[in-house]
Copies of this chain bind each other. A is one copy, B any other.
Amino acid sequence: MSGEVNIKRLAQELNISIATVSKALNDSHEISLKTKKRVWDLAKALNYTPNPAASNLRSNKTKTIAVIVPFIANNFFALAIKGIEEIARKFSHHVLIYQTHEDIEMEMSFTNSLLNGRVDGILTSVSSSEYNGTYYKNLVKKIPLVFFDRVYKDLDAYNVTTDDYEISYEATTHLIECGCSKIAYLYGLENLPAGNARFLGYKDAMQKNGLTVSDELVINYCEDESQNLTQITQLIDRHGPDALFSSIEEFVIPTYTACRALKLKIPDEIKIISFSNQATAQLLDPSLTTITQPAFEIGREAATCLFKMLNKKGFGDDQDIVLKSTLVKRGSTGC
């Protein structure tokens, strides 16, 4: 019944002008309370909701933000998105999702398609496949943008990250204190600041403790998952490390699979530590010592940051928000 219900319709039924209805709906102070009430009541009765396209067109605001991530089906990003969604709802905004599959071409294609006013702002965790600083340098001038977790440094944009260097340093030191001296490093996110910082934290901790960092003990993540298993198995076979430091969660399954296949006792014969969420860790026995990033909070912080930009409540001059990760010590490091 009743076709579409818009302000015109409300105006007709109430015998007042369209403009008055519009103002009343927006609770303008230049409309009498009596008129407002009449409008509100009818609006509610007819289940009126403003047409978003029309008001976007007019106001240049979409009440929509976009989230661009490498993957959705990933513990970290799924949690981050959850956080973003909750903040967005608090600000009555809608959330568009895009996944790049680590493909920078797709990433650019998505962001470009968002520059025509489809969204008010963008939250992005960039692809690790390649580094295109100049592209983003231009982009941040065109649309409010916040980087989270996977960021581009030196860009005059807001970054929400975690203390990758510090926590890696701490974790490595922990392994050393547990008696390890030959610690292999499973290197992920090599093209990104986060990956580099993690590796640096490991290296510095090693050197600080008089241990040598050898290339032979470092494996780089390979998208072909079976390759990772092979690499890890070979590394253990050939060099017999007494610990494995996995810098990304993707290494956890191949690491455990390799240790099981080689019948290595964890933590007696080899200790393991990994960046990983808690749920994954809880499933392992003996439980894995983890570095857990506050993914949910990162999402919330990043979104909050974006909404501050949108509301032009320009905050301090600090463009970097750094959240703390947690080193959750468990059985697998044996202390």
Contacts and interface: CB of A to CB of B under 8 A. Distances in A.
Given A85-B98, A252-B283, A57 B53 contact: yes
A208 interface: no
Interface in A55-76: 56-57, 62, 64, 71-75
B75 A82 contact: no
A324 interface: no
Contacts of A71: 82
A95 B94 contact: no
A191 interface: no
A296 B71 CA distance: 13
B118 A52 contact: yes
Interface in A209-244: none
B94 A96 contact: yes
Interface residues of A, number: 45
A279 B253 contact: yes
Interface stretch (A35-43, A109-117, A199-207, A310-318): A109-117
A51 interface: yes
A99 B72 contact: no
A97 interface: yes
A57 B64 CA distance: 16
Q: Indicate the member of A49, A74, A79 with the most B CB atoms within 10 Å.
A: A49
A192 interface: no
B99 A85 contact: yes
Nearest to A59: B53
A285 interface: yes
A189 interface: no
Interface string A69-105: 0011111001101100100000000111111000000
Interface string A179-204: 00000000000000000000000000
A116 B82 contact: no
Interface in A261-298: 279-280, 282-285, 296
Contacts of A279: 253
Contact of A78 (B73, B115, B116): B73
A45 interface: no
B99 A97 contact: no
Interface of A: 47, 49-54, 56-57, 62, 64, 71-75, 78-79, 81-82, 85, 94-99, 112-113, 115-118, 252-253, 256-257, 260, 279-280, 282-285, 296
Q: In the A-B complex, list the 6 residue pairs whose CB atoms are closest, starting with the nearest.
A: A53-B56, A53-B57, A283-B283, A49-B116, A73-B78, A78-B78
